[in-house]
Structure formats: structure tokens, C-alpha cells
Amino acid sequence: MSATISRLRLPLVFDRERLQADAAVFSAAEWTAHFNRSVYAGDWSGIALRAVPGANVALFPDPSAKLAFADTAAMQKMNYIPAVLDAIPCTKNSVRLLKLAAGSSIRRHRDYYLGPEDGEVRLHVPVRTHPDVEFVLDDERVPMAEGELWFLNFNHYHSVDNRSGVDRIHLVIDCVVNDWLRQLLEGRGSWRQACLGSPRAARIARPTTVGRKRSLVSIRTPRSPAVCRCAA
């Protein structure tokens, strides 16, 4: 697999209002300060939704963990995010909500073992963001909109500057690379194939379900720009 790919928007689009409703259930006190205090200025905090049971460092997705990742008690409070995760057909390790408060920033740094060649990658779904949030990867700005699904290679240098007046929240999902993801990252899979590779998307991509049931997941493909809605 190419080691050079650094960013890619993946073909699933989620309901931003339902994502925001999930993030809103946590009180201010439930957000834990990010462990990597040397890289940020201001307030960067998170909620672990999947973690290694009994992990010593909150929010730390320990690559050497001996136990398997499992849903946390916080995940039980989520109405929509479990469906979002089901729609992404990969094994998930760490899953977190990460909040970069208004006026805060994450300095340019790189992480490790999060490239396609490492077998695990980090996906982001912006839950709440703002045009004045600047995410930079490899010295290039990457504009990400609420509800989109992005692969970003965090082995590469990146930084975030939240110059807006809103707290920026992302759903951050660490996924084991499988054929579905590998094809997309290598530019071999079409968006349509990618949608059909998602069990939930395949089940809900029938036109007859559009508008009939509660929207959980929306999927857009270049060939079929209509939004396919996922039954609850």
C-alpha cells in the first residue's frame, strides 16, 4: 500500500444534528483533559467511547495494550454514534469525542503508527466545527465539514487552530485497515462500491427507504447524488 497518502474524504456522510445531540449529553465535568498537554494551548479534552478496559491514561489509545478495546459506559449514552460506527465496516479500536475549545490550538506535531502501512488509521467525523477552525496537514489546510468522514494520516505533521467562538468537536475513530478501507485509500474502490461494502449502507441504500424512516446515516455517491437514508 502507498505510504504517501495523507488525506481522503470517505464516501459516508452522517447527520450532523444527531451527532451534535449525542455530544451534548455530556456535562462539562465529564470531558477529560487530553493527556498530551505539551502539544496544546487552551483547552483540549475528550470522552472515551471505546477504550482498553482499565487503561491508566484516559483518552490514550495505547498501541501496546494487551486487552481488546471495548465500549465504555459513555458509549451507552449515545443514541446515534453506534449506528455511525456500524456504517463504517472496519474493526474499531479507540473511539473518542475530542473537543478543542474556542480559542484553543494544537501545535504542529506528528503521531505514530497511524498510517495505512501500519495497519491502523485514524478517521475523523467533524461533529461541530466552524470556518474559522484551521486544520493543517503537511502544511496544507484541510477543510472538513460537519458530518463528513475523513481519513487523515496523523503520522504526518498536523496542527489545529480554533480561532472561532465555538468549541470544535470531532468524533475520532481508530480503525483496523481492511480490504474496504485499503481499496479506498489506494484509489481503487468507487464510492458506490464503498457504500455497498458497508453492511448498514447496503441495507439502507434502497430508494424506497428515502424519507420513510428516521435518518441515521446519509450516503452520497458521485453516480447517485441522492441521499440514501438509513433506517433507525
Q: Contact residues for ligand AKG (CB under 6 A)?
A: 98, 100, 106, 111, 135, 154, 158, 160, 170
Whole-angstrom distance, CA of residue 94 vs CA of residue 70: 8
**Given the complex with ligand AKG, which of 52 and 100 has the nearer CB atom?**
100
Q: How far is the CB of 159 from ligand AKG (least distance, A)?
A: 8
DSSP string, 59-125: T---TT-SSPPEE-GGGGG-SSHHHHHHHS-S-EEEEEEEEE-TT-EEEEE--SS-SGGGTEEEEEE
Of 206, 175, 204, 170, which is closest to residue 83 (Cα–Cα)?
A: 204
**Given the complex with ligand AKG, which of 4 and 35 has the nearer CB atom?**
35
**Given the complex with ligand AKG, which of 50 and 170 has the nearer CB atom?**
170
Q: In the structure grid, which three cell numbers stand for residue 31, read together?
A: 470531558
Q: How far is the CB of 198 from ligand AKG (least distance, A)?
A: 24
**Given the complex with ligand AKG, which of 108 and 188 has the nearer CB atom?**
108
Q: For the chain, how many helices (H) and strands (E)?
A: 5, 15
Q: How far is the CB of 200 from ligand AKG (least distance, A)?
A: 25
Q: Are 126 and 9 in contact (CB under 8 A)?
A: no
Three-state SS for 127?
strand
**Given the complex with ligand AKG, which of 111 and 117 has the nearer CB atom?**
111
Which positions ≥6 away from 104 have C-beta within 8 Å? 40, 41, 42, 43, 44, 162
Q: How far is the CB of 168 from ligand AKG (least distance, A)?
A: 8
**Given the complex with ligand AKG, which of 62 and 111 has the nearer CB atom?**
111
Q: How far is the CB of 74 from ligand AKG (least distance, A)?
A: 18
Q: Are 138 and 109 in contact (CB under 8 A)?
A: no
Q: How far is the CB of 111 from ligand AKG (least distance, A)?
A: 5
